[in-house]
A = this chain, B = another copy of it.
Amino acid sequence: MTTYTKADRAPLTERQEARRRRILRATTQLAARGGYESVQMREVAELSEVALGTLYRYFPSKVHLLVATMYDQLDQLHTQLRRRPPRSAGSRERVVDTLLRAFKGMQREPHLTEAMMRALQFADRSVGAEVDTVSRETTTMILEAISGDEPAGEPTAEDLAVIRVITHTWHSSLIAWLNGRASIAQVRTDIETVCRLIPED
């Protein structure tokens, strides 16, 4: 039984790691330009200078590829958040701040966001592991916002249920905005509304 750290991937040689990064970078670039449908596997392969077959060896489907990209972006966001965490008074406010800050970032690259979110929502069982990874990362971010500077004991089942509901809302709400079915103000309202489930402290 081998256990891998850092996102559970098998170890790669340097060239392989470089290929992987080139692929993710190409994906991000294409997605940022035209969203989900602009991420075409042949183009990703060409832009990252990798054969189509190789692309598929690294990421077994377009959805896998985009979910991995999402994880990548989320990781960057998480790093930023740890560097400058929200400073608001209550845990509820910190979560709202965190999500709104993430939202602001996404507004800067709506196409990229659309591509990643569509993939995440469209993902089926075969992408279960990868989606779980993203989901765990999100949960961690919200938990850190809730606990703030404090030590932060084990989250209760209740905590986790609330966080699940928050992320559900977060995702669906974002999709609705990307599809032009919800305004920015509405997304904000929804976030604030669902965060009322976090007890005041």
What is A's interface to B at a CB cutoff of 8 Å?
36, 114, 118, 121-125, 128, 131-132, 135, 161-162, 164-165, 167-169, 171-173, 175-176, 179-182, 186, 189-190, 193-194, 196-197
Contacts and interface: CB of A to CB of B under 8 A. Distances in A.
Copies of this protein in the complex? 2
Contact of A165 (B128, B179, B180, B194): B194
A54 B47 CA distance: 39
Majority-rule SS of A interface residues? helix
Nearest to A170: B168
Nearest to A135: B181
A122 B121 contact: yes
B123 A122 contact: no
Most chain B CB neighbours (cut-off 10 Å) among A125, A132, A193: A193
B165 A121 contact: no
